[in-house]
């Protein structure tokens, strides 16, 4: 059962080094199961029209973190629509502790996406629709690509969470142990890794997210002015439900179930999700491609200019195939 909390009016939290992309507007919508989520819609820039990018962020992320990336898509002729997943950012929190990264079932994120698609994307944004997901959002996008062929034309994934590093017993046994803990009433207990530590000026060196200090510090400075956007370690229930979703993707027949073209970009130096698992899936896909970017850490859209240039070159080529 969700713990209802006061939801502030939807707004963005810009800082001087991270302004709101041109024309952006914030709002709130209610999902099919009653969760209140914050969203942002941003128009394309210039006369060229290529459709809309639907951006699904990673765990513990927030819209402001993607302002630069949204602007990059706008300059390419895309409108952008994005939202904060339930339990994080400016969306409704699901546990008594607002910092707990909690969800009962990973399919709740599917509800978030389908509700956003029907309520915001279809009525307010021009087609065609391109789904872009990072990390947790990448797993959500991958499941969407297997479940529906109508919602989106193509899916582009950045460091998707289809395997985790450092699990003590492997995916299946870790999930079983955590499900026992859920049964015993510990589902809302935070269970963090060192990779989940809070960002600060002191944590840049050796961080697993990005090699770009300026982009790392933008996130730190945004949370300093808007601490209500922060989320801490994931709960036992979050991890258990995420592992269930990852096992679905790991199944032998999953690649054949993909209904739209998929491109996966992985980070060679990722310490958050498993690049090896990403490569294995990429090699098995029939309707997509994958690439591993050398020297990159987990957050590809927040990486150095050189790595981001490679990422956007891959995106541009993948989307261009649409009209080839």
Kindly report, residue by residue over 292-305, the tens digit of the pLDDT.
999 999 999 999 99
Residue 112: pLDDT above 60?
yes
Instruction: Say whether 318 sits in a helix, a strand or coil.
Output: helix
Give the pLDDT confidence score for residue 31 in this predicted structure: 97
Under 8 Å between Cβ of 303 and 215: yes
Which pLDDT band holds residue 2 (cuts at 50, 70, 90)? very low
**Residues near 232 by beta carbon (within 8 Å), at least 6 away in sequence:** 60, 97, 99, 100, 101, 190, 192, 196, 198
Instruction: Read off the pLDDT of each residue in 184-198 and give the average, rounded to a whole number.
Output: 78
Residue 91: pLDDT above 70?
yes
Residue 303's alpha-carbon distances to 46, 66, 145, 213, 270, in angstroms, are 26, 12, 26, 9, 12
Domain ranges across the chain:
25-323
Hey, how many other C-beta atoms are within 10 angstroms of the C-beta on 273? 26
Instruction: Read off the pLDDT of each residue in 172-187 and give the average, rounded to a whole number.
Output: 91
Choice between 281 and 96, residue whose per-residue pLDDT is larger: 281
Query: What is the rounded average pLDDT for all residues in the chain?
Result: 92
> Considering just the CA atoms, what is the radius of gyration of the chain in Å?
18
Choice between 8 and 100, residue whose per-residue pLDDT is larger: 100
pTM: 0.94
Give the pLDDT confidence score for residue 323 in this predicted structure: 55
Which pLDDT band holds residue 180 (cuts at 50, 70, 90)? very high
High-pLDDT (> 90) share of the chain, % = 83
**Residues near 11 by beta carbon (within 8 Å), at least 6 away in sequence:** 26, 90
25-323 has which fold? Rossmann fold (3.40.50)
The region that residue 53 occupies, defined by phi over 0 for left and psi between -120 and 50 for alpha, beta otherwise, is beta
Helices (H) then strands (E): counts for the chain: 9, 8
Residue 93's alpha-carbon distances to 66, 181, 194, 253, in angstroms, are 21, 22, 23, 35
């Amino acid at each position: 059962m969700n713990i209802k909390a006061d939801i502030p009016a939807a707004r963005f939290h810009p800082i001087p080094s991270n302004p709101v992309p041109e024309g952006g507007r914030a709002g709130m919508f209610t999902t099919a199961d009653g969760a209140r989520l914050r969203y942002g819609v941003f128009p394309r820039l210039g006369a060229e029209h290529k459709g809309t990018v639907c951006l699904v962020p990673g765990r513990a992320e927030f819209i402001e973190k993607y302002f630069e990336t949204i602007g990059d898509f706008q300059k390419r002729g895309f409108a952008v629509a994005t939202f904060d997943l339930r339990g994080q950012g400016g969306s409704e929190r699901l546990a008594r502790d607002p910092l707990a990264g909690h969800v009962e079932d990973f399919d709740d994120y599917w509800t978030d996406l389908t509700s956003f698609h029907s309520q915001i994307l279809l009525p307010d944004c021009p087609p065609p629709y391109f789904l872009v997901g990072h990390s947790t959002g990448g797993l959500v996008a991958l499941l969407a690509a297997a479940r529906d062929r109508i919602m989106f034309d193509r899916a582009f994934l950045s460091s998707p969470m289809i395997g985790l590093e450092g699990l003590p017993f492997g995916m299946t046994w870790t999930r079983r142990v955590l499900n026992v803990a859920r049964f015993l009433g510990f589902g809302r207990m935070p269970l963090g890794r060192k990779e989940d530590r809070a960002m600060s000026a002191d944590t840049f060196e050796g961080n697993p997210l990005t090699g770009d200090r300026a982009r790392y510090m933008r996130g730190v400075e945004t949370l300093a002015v808007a601490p209500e956007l922060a989320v801490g370690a994931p709960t036992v229930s979050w991890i258990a439900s995420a592992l269930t979703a990852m096992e679905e993707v790991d199944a032998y027949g999953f690649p054949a179930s993909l209904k739209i073209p998929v491109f996966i970009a992985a980070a060679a130096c990722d310490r958050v999700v498993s690049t090896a698992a990403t490569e294995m899936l990429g090699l098995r896909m029939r309707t997509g491609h994958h690439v591993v970017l050398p020297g990159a850490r987990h957050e590809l859209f927040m990486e150095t200019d050189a790595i981001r240039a490679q990422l956007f070159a891959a995106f541009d080529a993948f989307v261009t195939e649409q009209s080839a």
